[in-house]
């Protein structure tokens, strides 16, 4: 991944896709220092009214013709490859909303095109920029938990009407696959899963997945669109206790292993851990999407490398497709 030389001039940014995510990207790009939203496009028009004084183009060519230096792609997943390849050919640094493409082969073509062109290519996994995950990653990087044993994620809630082209695995579980590999700093080596179709749609609406990372860490993902409550938690268990990142409420809590001996024989005989102190940390709470755009800006300028690379995006898509394969075949998939 390469960036341009640092400059004081704002990046000329184009945005394609003005739907549920694109409207937020438009606002944040405008509010981010060092970025200037100069062109927008959406073949379906501007239903949320975010273009302002800008003319709404009908395709990616209209962005390219506007002389942009960087682009944000927020179109439906099925169009990611087509749009991203045209931007790479035009020499434009690009962030593509997750997942990188509709399948692994397409994702590899996109990643390869940006690498070959020497451009900054990134994937928009905004959960990495959630303050709770940032704080969690910092704690793990300093060895706070000691050896990591297990990472579990829980991402549950009602069905979102905006989703029509994919199931819960490619829409939601992709976040958790990316997060587990990110916080552990290790790729997946195997995965097994089960899915259900309870809502009468073509695509799956619930998945339970278990697997292992290359460093031996166990992982588990509980993801669905069938719960009447919203839950977004990442739980990392290690030798000193457990860290729980609540990305919905933006909290990070540490559950320490207990150190006080017990006189209750039935419990004392168990050679495991006991409940210890609970600490909830005060953490800075910045908007994740703003942090994501700042990291992209810095990467394009050659001033940072905290974006999710397209190679990482491809690996996540490989795991996501393995989850669907494992659910269909009933056997674990080795990666």
Say whether pLDDT at 3 is over 70.
Answer: no
Confidence of residue 231 (pLDDT cuts 50, 70, 90): very high
Query: CA angle 3-83-76, nearest 5°?
Result: 115
pLDDT at residue 61, as a whole number: 98
Question: Which pLDDT band, with edges at 50, 70 and 90, does 81 fall under?
Answer: very high
Rounded Cα–Cα distance for residues 151 and 219 (Å): 5
Instruction: For CATH 3.40.50.720, list the domain ranges present in the chain.
Output: 11-125+290-304
pLDDT at 268 exceeding the cut of 90: no
Count of Cβ atoms closer than 10 Å to residue 52 Cβ? 10
CB contact at 8 A, 1 and 299: yes
Q: Tell me: the pLDDT tens digits for 13-36?
A: 999 999 999 999 999 999 999 999
Q: List pLDDT tens digits, range 169-224.
A: 999 999 999 999 999 999 999 999 999 999 888 899 999 999 999 999 999 999 99
Question: Above 70 in pLDDT, residue 271?
Answer: no
Q: What is the mean pLDDT of residues 128-147?
A: 96
Q: For position 264, what pLDDT does the model report?
A: 57
For residues 88-116, give the mean pLDDT: 97
Band of residue 5 on the pLDDT scale cut at 50, 70, 90? very low
User: What residues are paired with 305 via a beta bridge?
Assistant: none
Tell me how far apart the alpha carbons of residues 100 and 310 are, in angstroms, rounded to a whole number: 7
Percent of the chain with pLDDT over 70: 93
Q: How much of the chain, in percent, has pLDDT values that exceed 90?
A: 86
What CATH number has the domain spanning 131-249+251-284+317-334? 3.30.360.10
Higher-pLDDT residue of 132 and 274 is 132
Q: ∠ at Cα 262 (261, 265), nearest 5°?
A: 135
Which pLDDT value is given to residue 262?
55
Nearest to 54 by CA among 71, 37, 69: 37
Secondary structure (3-state) at 221: strand
**Architecture of the 11-125+290-304 domain:** 3-Layer(aba) Sandwich (3.40)
The predicted structure's pLDDT at residue 266: 56
Which pLDDT tens digit goes with each residue over 245-256? 999 999 999 999
**What does the block give as tokens for 157?**
């809630």
Say if residue 269's pLDDT is above 60.
no
Q: What is the pLDDT of residue 194?
A: 98
The whole-chain average pLDDT of the chain stands at 93
For 103-115, what is each residue's pLDDT tens digit? 999 999 999 999 9
Closest CA to 315 of 162, 163, 125, 151: 125
Q: What pTM does this model have? A: 0.90
Residue ranges matching CATH 3.30.360.10 in the chain: 131-249+251-284+317-334
């Amino acid at each position: 991944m390469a960036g341009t030389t640092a400059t004081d001039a704002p990046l000329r940014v184009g945005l394609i896709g003005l739907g549920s995510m694109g409207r937020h990207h438009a606002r944040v790009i405008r509010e981010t220092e060092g970025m200037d939203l100069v062109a927008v496009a959406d073949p379906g028009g501007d239903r949320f009214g975010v273009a302002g004084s800008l003319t709404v183009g009908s395709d990616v060519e209209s962005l390219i013709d506007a002389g942009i230096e960087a682009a944000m792609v927020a179109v439906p997943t099925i169009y990611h490859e087509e749009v991203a390849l045209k931007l790479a050919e035009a020499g434009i640094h690009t962030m593509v909303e997750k997942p990188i493409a509709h399948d692994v082969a397409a994702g590899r073509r996109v990643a390869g095109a940006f690498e070959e062109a020497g451009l900054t290519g990134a994937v928009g996994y905004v959960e990495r920029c959630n303050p709770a995950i940032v704080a969690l990653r910092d704690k793990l990087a300093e060895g706070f938990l000691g050896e990591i044993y297990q990472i579990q994620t829980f991402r549950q809630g009602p069905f979102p009407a905006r989703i029509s082209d994919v199931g819960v695995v490619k829409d939601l579980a992709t976040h958790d696959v990316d997060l587990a590999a990110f916080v552990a700093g290790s790729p997946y080596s195997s995965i097994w899963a089960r899915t259900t179709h309870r809502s009468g749609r073509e695509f799956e609406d619930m998945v339970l997945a278990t697997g292992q990372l290359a460093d031996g860490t166990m992982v588990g993902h509980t993801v669905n669109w069938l719960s009447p409550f919203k839950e977004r938690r990442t739980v990392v268990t290690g030798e000193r206790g457990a860290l729980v990142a609540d990305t919905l409420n933006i909290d990070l809590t540490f559950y320490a292993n207990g150190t006080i001996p017990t006189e209750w024989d039935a419990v004392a005989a168990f050679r495991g851990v006991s409940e210890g102190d609970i600490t909830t940390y005060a953490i800075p709470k910045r908007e994740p999407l703003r942090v994501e755009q700042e990291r992209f800006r810095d990467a394009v300028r050659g001033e940072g490398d905290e974006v999710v690379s397209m190679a990482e995006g491809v690996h996540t898509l490989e795991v996501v497709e393995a989850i669907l394969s494992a659910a269909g075949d009933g056997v674990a998939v080795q990666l």
